[in-house]
Chains A and B, each alone.
Chain A
Amino acid sequence: MTGANRIPGAGRLTPARTARFTFDGKSYNALEGDTVASALLANGVHLVGRSFKYHRPRGVVSAGPEEPNALIGVERDAARQQPNVRATVQEVFDGMKTISQNRYPSLSFDVGSINNLLSPFFAAGFYYKTFMWPKQAWKHIYEPQIRAAAGLGVSPKEEDPDHYSSRYAHCDVLLIGGGIAGLSAALAAAKTGARVILCDEQPEVGGAMHYDKSVTVDGVDGFTWAQKTAADLAKMSNVTVLTRTTAFGYYAQNFVALVQRVTDHISKPDRRLPRERMWQVRAKRVIIATGAIERHMVFANNDRPGIMQAAAARTYLNHFGVAVGRKVGVYTANDSAYEAAFDLKRAGVTVAAIVDCREKPGEAVLAEARSLGIEVLTGHSVIDTSGKLRVAGMSVARNGSSAKRNIAIDALLTSAGWTPSVHMFSQSRGKVAYDAESGSFLPGVYAQDCLSIGACNGTTDLQATIEEALAAGELMAKASGFEATGKVELQATNAFQWTGGMSGAAEGAGEDTTVKAFIDFQNDVCAKDIRLAVREGMHSIEHIKRFTTNGMATDQGKLSNLHGLAIAAEALGRGIPEVGLTTFRAPYTPVTFGTLISHSRGELFDPTRKTPMHALEEAEGAVFEDVGQWKRAWYYPRAGEDMHQAVNRECRTVRETVGMFDASTLGKIEVVGPDAAAFLNLIYTNSWDTLKPGRTRYGIMLREDGFVYDDGVVGRLAEDRFHVTTTTGGAARVMNHMEDYLQTEFPHLNVWLTSATEQWAVIAVQGPKARDVIAPLVEGIDLSNEAFPHMSVREGKICGVPTRLFRMSFTGEMGFEVNVPADFGPAVWDAIRAEVEKAGGCAYGTEAMHILRAEKGYIIVGQDTDGTVTPDDASLSWAVGKKKPDFVGIRGLKRPDLVRSGRKQLVGLKTKDPNVVLEEGAQIVADPNQPKPMTMLGHVTSSYWSENCGRSIAMALVVDGRAKLGQTLYVPMPDRTIAVEVSEMVFIDKEGVRLNG
């Protein structure tokens, strides 16, 4: 037995195929194809959750994605716990565990429901008014309390073990929605040969055919026709049919995001499958066929379990074979709900009465009701309901009369009419227009290349929908460049044309009433809350929405928006179109973070760039640091060493013998062409004409505003070929900066730029024994000081492979930078490493490199400069060509602010106590005893313990720093004040004799 309310012979599920699942620990039988909602209803369970604010008992309202109440937790295992799953969408699988939410200790007895009794204190906007005072209480008391009480469901604590995928797709025509309209349009479009993608959020296409059994298309039942058509379409090579796939976001230029639920319905999914797949579709044309959503009636206590949309009850009966009650009432403002009564009556369910607030329902449905013997109370309204955990009765009164008649029921089906689903259209930035005749907002002005068809376009007649869809499919295919080769023709019939519909509060819930007539079930917003918002001075619908939170829950007001708008319009004394609709935003239904992230997690979150020698450095025990996307060897601790000890040893070794360093991440740009020197003259402050092939020069690059942008050593390999180096972090932006000027300001120059950063592995060998180390490995290059002086470059061979060998130093020691084609890097590193070992040297990391360069006063752009430092501020005026007619930044350097006195200049700092190491970023003042806020003179940019100097050293930007040499300044810290002496930036070998070995 799969539930006492399963009606034999009804529905489309196969009785033999059962599945077992639990809800709040209790086990139930279901049929394959059931949603959790249909399975619970089959077992007579209507109470599925507690409301957000008042903790009122709530039941299933809908049979689709618009569901506001039936939000449950779904568990597969400890890590796979999904909160806030709509029970009306989630399919049952064998072995699934589900739980109710927002209740304690149990669903039927919930202590939070005290909020319902206290509801006068929780009126709309209470949140904004109540927690104002005292100021400190918000952070420490109110917010933590509200956070604990608010929110639905519980997030899993473990990392999500599932994986998610993502795919870009392109098509000529994208169909959103696989109902009769979408399928018909897809047929017409596909027949032209156009590439078509059709997506539908349900497991099976058919849309309204899930509930409407009266439709025939081309002589077959509508649902059957839909399945056959989808199958035929899927067989075509130019068509992709995606079910369980929701279009959730419509972005610029027909970029539509879909989420396909791949395994959520499977009991034991193949773990190679992604749980969900995101499709990022770029469509030439989009056809929106998203149908309409039935609105509920707004009346007192309209939220009891068992009160639901009339069409939902039809879906449960006609698709799932489930009767939602045994004695049902119907309360409606339009004809469609009558058909629910007819279907249920024919299935053997007692229909207590159809209560129709209209005096004149459609004649056809009225006649049919009478012939079926159903009592119809026209001009009557349901003014209240009874029942604790499920509706037990309805109070019916003639409109305008106070005489009540109580009718016992166990389910109440309501319909206020149908709201066209213009979400996707609105997201496309199309402008909706109010149609007074149907009382709905319909697509008005289109902003993108799309068309709405069928119910979401206000077309209600079935045959008219099909004609519209076929024409749209052909038109949109044609607009994408495809011609129709023959007409598609379809004939369809259905039972009734529907009339009627209303929005806003029904009888007994109007102005001056204080009953709880819910419009937004999920956020517990009642009709009276909207009126309160208006009385409080909210006159824009956007303000009313935020004040009341109407439509702001995860269902985004799919049921409530129009009701809220109608009530606001009435309270404001304005028409609905004047008040206007709030903007629909993506996502249409909630989307998991996993899907949005898809591949971008773990190793694939962001590229991790490693140098060619990374594995060797790792084997030597290097600790790595992140420099942008790069991993760089930070220091190489030996057994028993901490970072401090390792770095001190590395620094000492370089100055005493020799060290080797992986400099591969430095940016490298090859500048080639007859105008290469002319171009570099414009890009750098230095002059390059005078640089001879085989020589190198340190260059500074400015932005047009005169501030230092990057620096590096540039080698001239030939008259027309330069090897430019940049900082590691600057490689990409310097390349872009240079391309920008070359392409747009200096396009007349015959020169080209190529990034060569990764062509070369770079091994710096630095120290007194550097030459001894590389000499045995180098061929064809005279390494003597005379033949190969400091700041030179030669091409030759090392270890038998080509090298660009630079004689340069970022340590102040005699040094070489060995560039070899990257694949040879590890072998050459190994060879040099062996020689370094013989010489008593070691490998050193970026921390030692930073200290060694600071000992020599070499700046690091981006550490000692911050985008507001000029060459003069950094004592680099010598590198600015005074006679050059032009270079980028030449005019910026003359700006009044850049030439004034009192600028911050880069200087050295020595702490009075040599053992104290300053903090980088610490502020500097002249008088530590001055009142706060103190006048700050600058800040520390670099600071280290220098083992070679036997003391701490620092660099700092200080106002008029060079004029303060020898003066004492102070660095106030939270726990003490540190006295420092302003010094020159060079702490070791001022004469530079060590550079020559």
Chain B
Amino acid sequence: MLLIYCPYCEEERSELEFRGAGDAHIARPTNIADISDEEFEEFFFLRDNPKGLIFERWRHIHGCGRFFNAARDTVSDKFKLTYKAGLPKPDLDATTPAAPVETYEATESNAK
């Protein structure tokens, strides 16, 4: 069970108080009614699902109720940073090596 630092409560809290809310920094177009099918597809349907650093939204739903953003490593499951909604995407070095991980699944994916 993760510990998540809520940027509004200024404290680490149990994951039980939070709910994930998908990718961050995907702004709803202000002219959404006028965008093309391709632009809508990009905005609404397509996500990268990266292995490694991901920017995502969480809500402290059973705490202060605020949505905020987080940078998390999907391999080590570690949060690198959380920050308030509306703040720009932080410049984190995406090449930071993932923490060592030893799982059967990881072994499998590396198997020749």
A–B proximity contact (CB within 8 A): yes
**What is A's interface to B at a CB cutoff of 8 Å?**
251-253, 255, 280, 282, 426, 429-431, 445, 447, 540, 542, 580, 582-583, 704-705, 736, 739-740, 743-745, 747, 885-886, 890-892, 894-896
Interface residues on B, range: 20 to 34
- Across the interface, name the chain A residue whose C-beta is closest to B4: A253
Q: Are B99 and A583 in contact (CB under 8 A)?
A: no
B101 adjacent to A429 (CB under 8 Å): yes
The contact of B32 among A251, A255, A891, A895, by CB within 8 Å, is A891
B44 x A736 contact (CB < 8 A): no
Distance in Å from the Cβ of A113 to the closest Cβ of chain B?
Answer: 34
Cα A890 to Cα B35 in complex, Å, equals: 11
- Contact between A885 and B67, CB atoms less than 8 A apart: no
Determine whether B50 belongs to the interface, using a CB cutoff of 8 Å to chain A.
no
Check: B85 CB closer than 8 A to any chain A CB.
Answer: yes
Q: Measured between alpha carbons, how far is A430 from B102 in the docked complex, in Å?
A: 8
Besides A736-B61, A744-B86, 9 new A-B residue pairs in contact (Cβ under 8 A), listed by A number: A253-B2, A255-B1, A255-B3, A429-B101, A704-B44, A739-B59, A743-B67, A745-B27, A891-B35
- A282 surroundings in chain B (CB, below 8 A): 3, 14
Evaluate whether A890 and B1 lie within 8 angstroms (CB atoms) in the complex, with A540-B107, A736-B59, A743-B66 already known.
no
- Determine whether B46 belongs to the interface, using a CB cutoff of 8 Å to chain A: no
Residues of B within 8 A of A280 (CB): 1
CA A838 to CA B84, docked complex, whole Å:
59
- In the complex the two chains form, is B57's CB within 8 Å of A891's CB? no
**Is B9 interfacial (CB 8 A cutoff)?**
no
Tell me which residues across on chain A come within 8 A of B104, comparing CB atoms: 542, 582-583
Task: Point out the residues of chain A lying under 8 angstroms from B66, CB to CB.
Answer: 743
Partner of A892 from the list B44, B67, B76 (CB cut-off 8 Å) is B44
In the complex, A747→B67 CA distance in Å?
11
Closest Cβ–Cβ distance, residue B85 to chain A (whole Å): 5
Q: Which one, A447, A743, A891, contacts B33 given CB within 8 A?
A: A891
Q: 27 A–B contact pairs at CB < 8 A? A: A252-B3, A253-B1, A253-B2, A255-B1, A255-B3, A282-B3, A426-B102, A431-B100, A431-B102, A447-B76, A447-B99, A542-B104, A542-B108, A582-B104, A705-B44, A736-B61, A739-B59, A740-B59, A740-B67, A744-B57, A745-B28, A885-B33, A890-B32, A892-B40, A892-B44, A894-B33, A895-B37
Q: What are the residues of chain B within 8 A of A542 when measuring CB–CB?
A: 104, 107-108
Interface string of B42-76 (1 = CB under 8 A from A): 00100000000000010101000111000000001
Residues on A with C-beta less than 8 A from B19 are 736
10 A-B pairs closest in CB distance: A431-B100, A253-B3, A891-B32, A743-B67, A745-B28, A890-B33, A445-B100, A255-B1, A252-B2, A744-B67
- Dominant secondary structure at the B interface: loop
Q: Which residues of A contact B32 (CB under 8 A)?
A: 886, 890-891
Min C-beta distance of A940 to chain B, whole Å: 30
Report the minimum CB–CB distance from A426 to chain B (whole Å). 7
Give Cα A252–Cα B79 distance, bound, in whole angstroms.
Answer: 11
Cα–Cα, bound, A542→B109 (Å):
13
Give Cα A896–Cα B99 distance, bound, in whole angstroms: 44
Task: Find B102's partner among A429, A704, A744 (CB 8 Å cutoff).
Answer: A429
B111 neighbours in A (Cβ, 8 Å): 540
What A residues does B102 contact at CB under 8 A?
A: 426, 429, 431, 583
A739–B85 alpha-carbon span in the complex (Å): 13
Give the residues in chain B near A896, CB-CB below 8 Å. 37
Is there an interface contact between B1 and A251, defined as CB atoms closer than 8 Å?
A: yes
- Chain B: CB-nearest residue to A282: B3
Contacts of A890 in B (CB 8 A): 32-33
Closest to B45 in A: A705
A743 near B1 (CB under 8 angstroms)?
A: no
Interface residues, chain B, with chain A CB atoms under 8 Å away:
1-3, 14, 19, 21, 27-28, 32-33, 35, 37, 40, 44, 57, 59, 61, 65-67, 76-77, 85-86, 99-104, 107-108, 111
Residue contact A739 to B33, C-beta cutoff 8 Å = no
Given contacts A429-B99, A704-B44, contact A739 B67 (CB under 8 A): yes
The docked-state distance in angstroms from the alpha carbon of A736 to that of B61 is 8
Give Cα distance in the complex from A426 to B100, angstroms: 11
CA A361 to CA B66, docked complex, whole Å? 67
Chain B residues closer than 8 Å to A705, beta-carbon distance: 44
Closest Cβ–Cβ distance, residue B73 to chain A (whole Å) = 11
A885 to B31, CA, bound (A): 9
Give the shortest distance, in Å, between A254 (CB) and chain B (any CB).
Answer: 8
Across the interface, which residues of A come within 8 angstroms of B65, CB to CB? 739
Q: Give the distance to chain B from A713, nearest Cβ to Cβ, in Å.
A: 25
A426 to B1, CA, bound (A): 17
Complex Cα distance, B32 from A140, in Å, reads 58
Chain A residues, Cβ within 8 Å of B101: 429, 447
* Inter-chain contact A743/B61, CB cutoff 8 Å: no
Q: In the complex, what residue of chain A is closest to B24 when comparing beta carbons? A: A744
Chain B residues in 8 Å Cβ range of A743: 66-67, 85
Chain A residue contacts of B77, Cβ below 8 A: 252
- Residue pair A583, B1 in contact (C-beta under 8 Å): no
CB distance from A473 to the nearest CB of B (A): 23
Which residue, of B1, B66, B76, B102, has the highest number of chain A Cβ atoms within 10 A? B102
For B86, list chain A residues within 8 Å (CB).
744, 747
On chain B, the residues within 8 Å of A892 by CB distance are 40, 44
Please name all residues of chain B whose beta carbon is closer than 8 Å to the beta carbon of A744 when the two chains form the complex: 57, 67, 85-86
On whether A583 and B76 interact (CB within 8 A), knowing A252-B1, A892-B44, the answer reads: no
Contacts of A891 in B (CB 8 A): 32-33, 35, 40
Cα–Cα, bound, A705→B44 (Å): 8
CB distance from B57 to the nearest CB of A (A): 7
The answer for the CA separation of A891 and B45 in the assembled complex, in Å, is 13
With contacts A705-B44, A743-B67 taken as known, whether A886 is within 8 angstroms of B33 at the C-beta atoms is yes
CA distance A583 to B100 in the complex (A): 13
CB distance from B31 to the nearest CB of A (A): 9
Q: Please, which residue of chain B has its CB at the minimum distance from the CB of A741?
A: B28
Q: A743-B85, A744-B85 are in contact. Are A583 and B40 (CB under 8 A)?
A: no
> How many Å from the CB of A550 to the closest CB on chain B?
15
Q: A740-B67, A891-B33 are in contact. Are A447 and B100 (CB under 8 A)?
A: yes
Nearest to B12 among chain A residues (CB) is: A253
B54–chain A nearest beta-carbon distance, Å? 16
User: Shortest beta-carbon distance, A742 to chain B, in Å?
Assistant: 9
Contacts of B28 in A (CB 8 A): 704, 745
Residues of A within 8 A of B57 (CB): 744
Question: Which A-chain residue is minimally distant from B86 (CB atoms)?
Answer: A747
Q: Which of A426, A431, A583 has the most CB of B within 10 A?
A: A583
Query: Are B21 and A740 in contact, with the CB atoms below 8 A?
Result: yes
Q: How far is the CA of A393 from the CA of B19 in the complex (A)?
A: 64
Instruction: Tell which of B19, B35, B44 has the most Cβ of chain A within 10 Å.
Output: B44
Nearest residue (CB) in B for A884 is B33
> A251–B100 Cα gap in the complex (Å)?
15
Please name the residue on chain B nearest to A447 by beta carbon: B99
Q: Give complex CA distance A702, B99 in Å.
A: 41
User: Which A residues are CB-close (under 8 A) to B37?
Assistant: 895-896
Minimum CB–CB distance for B50 against chain A, Å? 19
Which chain A residues lie closer than 8 Å to B35 at the CB level? 891
Instruction: Choose among A282, A447, A747 the residue with the greatest number of B CB atoms under 10 Å from its CB.
Output: A447
Looking at the assembled complex, report how far the CB atom of B52 sits from the nearest CB atom of chain A, in whole angstroms. Answer: 16
Query: Bound complex: CA of A583 vs CA of B106, how far in Å?
Result: 11
A566 → B minimal CB distance (Å)? 19
- The smallest C-beta distance from A509 to any residue of chain B, in angstroms, reads 28
A886 contacts which chain B residues (CB < 8 A)? 32-33
Minimum distance in angstroms from B24 CB to a CB of chain A = 9
CB-nearest residue of chain A to B85: A744
What is the CB-to-nearest-CB distance from A291 to chain B, in angstroms, rounded to a whole number?
22
Which residues does chain A contribute within 8 Å of B61, judged by CB atoms?
Answer: 736
| A546, closest chain B residue (CB) | B104
- Nearest Cβ in chain A — how far from B111, in angstroms? 6
- Is the pair A583, B103 in contact by a Cβ cutoff of 8 Å? yes
Chain A residues whose C-beta falls within 8 Å of the C-beta of B67 in the assembled complex: 739-740, 743-744
Q: B110 CB to closest chain A CB, in angstroms?
A: 10
Give the one of A251, A580, A740, A891 with max B CB within 10 A: A891
